[in-house]
Structure 1
Amino acid sequence: MLSSSMRPSLCPFCEAAALMARPLFPMPSTRHMATMQKPRPSRMDLSPKVALPNAKPPRRRTNSPFGGMNVTHADFRNAPRQRPSSAEQKRATRNAPEKYKPKDEKEKDSFKALKMQRALSQVSYSHRSAVKQSIADTESFNEFGLLPAVHQSISTQALNGLEDTSPT
C-alpha cells in the first residue's frame, strides 16, 4: 500500500478544484411541490367545531307507530293538531243533533225544490203536464219503439222474476 507520503501528488490546481467540487456540508434534498406533504395537525388539539351545539335539536317524528314511545315529558302545547279526515267528519256529523250539524247540510235540503224549479223554468207548465200524462198512459214496454231483441231482454234479463213490469 502506498502511504500518504508516497501518494502520487496532484498539481495544486487540480487539488483545489477537487476540494471545491465536493461540498463541506451535505445539501438538503429539495422536493417538488407536488410531492410535499401537508403539515399534519397535532393530535391533541380538538377541532373548534366539536363544542358547538346544533342550531336546533332534531325534531322527533310523532307521526309514526313508535313516535310517542320513550318520551320523558308531555309536550301537548307544541304538538301539531291533526285535522280529522273527511270520512271522520262525516261520521261525526251523521248522528249528531241538528244544532251541531254544519249549516250548509241543513240548507242543502231546503234549496233542493228551488233548484228543481229553476231547472224546469225553461219548460212551460202545459208541456210538463202533457209529458206527465203520456208517461201515465204507457202501460207496457211494448208501446216504446224498441228493437225486438231489446223487448225480449227486458222481460227475461233486466226484470227477471218481477210480476208487475210496467214502466213508471
Structure 2
Amino acid sequence: MNARTPLEARTVAQVMTTDLLTITPEESVLMAWELMCQARIHHLPVVSAEGSFMGVVDAQILMATWESAGPGRARRPVRDLLPGSPLLAVLADDPIPTAARAMLSANTDYVAVIDDDRTLIGLLTAHDLINALAGGPTPQPHPRPSMPSLYRMEPVLPKHRPAERPEAMAHPSRTVISPD
C-alpha cells in the first residue's frame, strides 16, 4: 500500500513512528522533562530494563503533575506518573480506525504499538495520522533500536549562598561552587 491508499485502509504499522526515545521507570521526572525538551518530543514511552512496555509519559502529564516544591520532588521516579489503569496499546496489524477509536476512548493523542509479547515496537500519534492523511512521507525506521536514556542530569547547587560568603561578593569573577 502507498500514500494513495485511504488512511482508513492502512494498518498502524504503515503510519506509526518506530524511532523512539524511551525512558526507564527509575529515571526522574526532571530527566523525562529534559529529554522531551532536548528531543522536541511530546511523548516519552516508559520501558523496563527488561524491555517491557509500562506506559507513556507525555508533556500534558508532566505539566499537570509538576511540583516546584524543590529539587527533591523533581527527582521522584517517572514510575509515579504512570497510570494504574490498563495500558493503552494496539497491535501493528490493527487497522488505523481501531487505533483512532482507542485514542478517542482514552482521550489521548497517542497510542502505543506493541507486539504479541507486549514489547513496545512503535507509537502512533495524532501527528502521525495527520501526516499520513496529508500524504506526507512514511516514517522510516532507523537501524538503531530504541533504548533507555544513557545519561543522567542532576542540577548542581552551591553549598553556600553567596550572601553567606563575603569573599564571593568581593570577587564576583570567582565561583562560589567548590569542586567535590
Q: Which has the higher contact order (CA 8 A, sep 6+)?
A: 2
TM-score of the two chains, using structure 1 as the length reference = 0.20
Q: Which has the higher helix share?
A: 1
Q: Which has the higher strand share?
A: 2
Higher alpha-carbon Rg = 1
